[in-house]
């Protein structure tokens, strides 16, 4: 068995044990295998094994790796997990099924304009600057409700929220806040939890876990 499959199974077993311990029913978070920088020969064992959710953060790299594969396998879901510039939106929409990084009204308007050209709308997560960090993009909490309503008026398919908590602080505080915020907006999905904190994110109902190095190993 390929090492990436072993790693994925280990992570899934950890998640299942955590959910059992928390005594939560009807809850099965999805694992997004963050495959950015890895070659397709490193990713293909997971595809053959049946894993279907993958994450990329660069449009050109994703296009080169995934266009042919997705044409052959329509069940694969590709997630844009990096900063998305407005001039890249026209390349993202034909390839990606989910966008986890909607962080400005300018970007929302561009997606709204471009998605009219396609039959299927991307499913979108609003990126929240949960720690109010000046070096990070994202919508601040005080502007979130207004921003969400503007997105709905633009015809965007907003399915949830996303955050990157501060690196040097306890993520539980921010995960808890994300759960409350998402509930207030009456959204069903939260994209939070990565290789170092995905088990903590489960405690706060994360539905999409973005896991890279724990599956694929360290990036060179």
pLDDT one-digit tens code per residue, 29-70: 999 999 999 999 999 999 999 999 999 999 999 999 999 999
The span from the CA of 218 to the CA of 74, in Å, is 29
Q: Which pLDDT belongs to residue 98? A: 98
Q: Which two tokens stand for residue 78?
A: 């590709």
Identify the three-state secondary structure at position 189.
strand
Q: Which pLDDT belongs to residue 32? A: 98
Band (pLDDT 50/70/90 cuts) for residue 23 is: very high
Other Cβ atoms closer than 10 A to 163: 28
- Does 220 score more than 70 pLDDT? no
Pairing, β 208-211 against β 157-163: unpaired
168: domain CATH number is 3.20.20.10
Cβ–Cβ under 8 Å, residues 57 and 83 = yes
Q: How many helices (H) and strands (E) does the chain have?
A: 9, 8
Range of the domain at 64: 3-216
Q: What's the pTM? A: 0.96
Identify the three-state secondary structure at position 158.
strand
Q: Which letter, b or e, does each residue of 49-70 get, where b requires 16 or more Cβ atoms within 10 Å of its Cβ?
A: eebebbbbbebeebbebbeeeb
Q: Which two tokens stand for residue 119?
A: 């039959």
- Residue pLDDT, tens place only, 179-192: 999 999 999 999 99
- Residue pLDDT, tens place only, 106-149: 999 999 999 999 989 999 999 999 999 999 999 999 999 999 99
| Percent of the chain topping pLDDT 90 | 94
Closest CA to 210 of 101, 62, 130, 75: 101
| Percent of the chain topping pLDDT 70 | 100
- Count of domains forming the chain: 1
């Amino acid at each position: 068995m390929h090492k990436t499959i072993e790693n994925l199974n280990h992570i899934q077993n950890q998640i299942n044990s955590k959910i059992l311990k928390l005594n939560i029913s009807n809850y099965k978070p999805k694992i997004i295998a963050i495959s950015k920088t890895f070659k397709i020969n490193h990713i293909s064992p997971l595809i053959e094994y049946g894993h279907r959710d993958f994450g990329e953060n660069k449009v050109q790299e994703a296009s080169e790796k995934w266009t042919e594969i997705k044409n052959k396998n329509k069940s694969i879901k590709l997630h844009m997990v990096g900063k998305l510039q407005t001039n890249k939106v026209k390349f993202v929409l034909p390839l990606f099924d989910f966008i986890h990084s909607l962080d400005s009204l300018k970007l929302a308007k561009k997606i709204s304009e471009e998605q009219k050209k396609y039959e299927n709308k991307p499913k979108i997560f609003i990126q929240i600057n949960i720690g109010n960090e000046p070096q990070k993009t994202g919508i601040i909490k005080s502007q979130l409700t207004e921003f969400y309503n503007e997105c709905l008026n633009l015809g965007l398919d907003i399915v949830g929220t996303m955050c990157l908590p501060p690196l040097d602080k306890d993520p539980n505080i921010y995960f808890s806040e994300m759960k409350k915020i998402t509930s207030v907006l009456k959204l069903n999905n939260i994209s939070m939890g990565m290789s170092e904190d995905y088990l903590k994110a489960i405690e706060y109902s994360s539905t999409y876990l973005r896991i890279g190095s724990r599956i694929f190993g360290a990036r060179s």
